[in-house]
């Protein structure tokens, strides 16, 4: 299956995408991870991306489209993929559509994880990440056995810069300005499947499978 996971920060897209990707045996393509992998390469695109990321600027649509196009050429995407974090704008959605059409491919569905802002803020602001193994915890919903210490590797837990309240609100504003319009774009294309992202992760996953016509 070729899927897009769409939703606001804190909606749990990454968690659900990773879980479903294992079930479907397709790659989970998180654009954040993809960019980090790309910039380690010695290519003109990698050097261009590094210049944007190092300066704190957003990666332009054309460069993001180029990076995704290169990723989708890899053979592990032949049987499908889950895109998480892309597209984020109408221009990116159009570029993806053209890219897939050139290869005779098409999307199977776009999963929209719908979540109220106040719930997302609570989730994100309480998140803590291990500096060593990147495991995620939550001060309320998934606390570590020992405060500030990763139960997996013993590393230090910290709060990411983009998980503080002021930054979360800024991320939501950007999401509303650029990404919300994609909900209507894909709904009009008959691809959108809306998932309530408020319940516990297992319940969300069950609803996700139902939406895709799968069973546990």
How many whole angstroms separate alpha carbon 75 and alpha carbon 103? 13
Q: Active site includes 160?
A: yes
Q: Which residues pair with 129 in a beta bridge?
A: 136, 158
- Residue-level pLDDT at 52: 59
Q: Looking at residue 141, what is its pLDDT?
A: 85
Whether 127 is a known active-site residue: answer yes
pLDDT of residue 64: 85
8 Å CB contact between 149 and 173: no
Catalytic entry in 71, 123, 127, 207: 127
Backbone angles phi, psi at 3, to 5 degrees: -130, 150
**Token pair of 127 as six digits:** 């998140």
Q: How many residues does the chain have?
A: 216
Which residues are bridge partners to 194 per DSSP?
112
Q: What is the pLDDT of residue 56?
A: 55
Choosing from 2, 19, 69, 171, which is the catalytic residue? 171
Report the alpha-carbon angle 98-104-107, nearest 5.
Answer: 65
Domains of the chain, earliest start first: 2-117+169-211 (3.40.50.300)
Catalytic residue among 146, 160, 170, 176: 160
Rounded Cα distance, 214 and 39, in Å:
36
23 is an active site residue = no
- Residue 83, burial from CB neighbour count under 10 angstroms (0-12, 13-18, 19+): buried
Amino acid 111: pLDDT: 96
Sites in the chain below the pLDDT cut of 70: 42, 52-58, 215-216
Nearest CA to 158 out of 178, 139, 183 is that of 139
* Sign of the CA dihedral with 53 first, then 54, 58, and 63 last: negative
């Amino acid at each position: 299956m070729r899927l897009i996971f769409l939703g606001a920060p804190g909606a749990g897209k990454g968690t659900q995408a990773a879980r479903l990707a294992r079930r479907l045996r397709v790659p989970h393509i998180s654009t954040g991870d993809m960019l980090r992998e790309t910039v380690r390469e010695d290519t003109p695109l990698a050097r261009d991306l590094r210049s944007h990321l190092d300066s704190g600027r957003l990666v332009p649509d054309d460069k993001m489209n180029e990076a995704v196009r290169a990723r989708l050429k890899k053979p592990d995407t032949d049987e499908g993929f889950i895109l998480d974090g892309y597209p984020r704008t109408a221009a990116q959605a159009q570029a993806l559509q053209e890219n897939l059409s050139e290869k005779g491919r098409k999307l199977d569905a776009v999963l929209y994880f719908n979540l109220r802002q106040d719930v997302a803020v609570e989730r994100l602001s309480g998140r803590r990440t291990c500096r060593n193994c990147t495991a995620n915890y939550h001060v309320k919903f998934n606390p570590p056995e020992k405060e500030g210490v990763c139960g997996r590797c013993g590393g230090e837990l910290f709060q990411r810069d983009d998980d503080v309240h002021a930054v979360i609100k800024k991320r939501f504003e950007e999401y509303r300005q650029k990404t919300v319009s994609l909900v209507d774009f894909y709904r009009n294309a008959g691809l959108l499947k809306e998932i309530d992202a408020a319940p516990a992760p297992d319940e969300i996953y069950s609803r996700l499978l139902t939406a895709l016509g799968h069973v546990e």
